[in-house]
Amino acid sequence: MWEVAKVVREFDERGERAVKAAAELLNLPAERVRLALGYYGAYPDEIDAEMAMADEESRAAEEAWRAEQRLLA
């Protein structure tokens, strides 16, 4: 569910336009997007923590890849 919140957070669109854009991008029904956003509304701290953890894991993976590339250069 954090993925939906992250996508919507990064859009310029708001409201129903954001729901439709997220549904299209994530290949989900709009109802599933609304459900995920409702869950975020009920548990924002939990979802924000999951997003932060995913961002950190992504950053660490990129850093490891860059180190490997430097070694191979």
Half-sphere CA count of 7, side-chain side, radius 13 A? 20
For range 10-34, the mean pLDDT: 94
| Cα distance between residue 55 and residue 49, in whole Å | 10
- Is residue 11 within 8 A of residue 30, CB to CB? The reply is no
What are 29-65's pLDDT values in tens digits?
999 999 999 999 999 999 999 999 999 999 999 999 9
- Whether the per-residue pLDDT at 13 is higher than 90: the answer is no
So what's the pLDDT on residue 1? 84
Q: Tell me the helix, strand and coil percentages in the chain, rounded to 5.
A: 85, 0, 15
Q: Which of 24, 27, 33, 46 lies closest to 4 in space, CA to CA?
A: 33
So what's the pLDDT on residue 12? 86
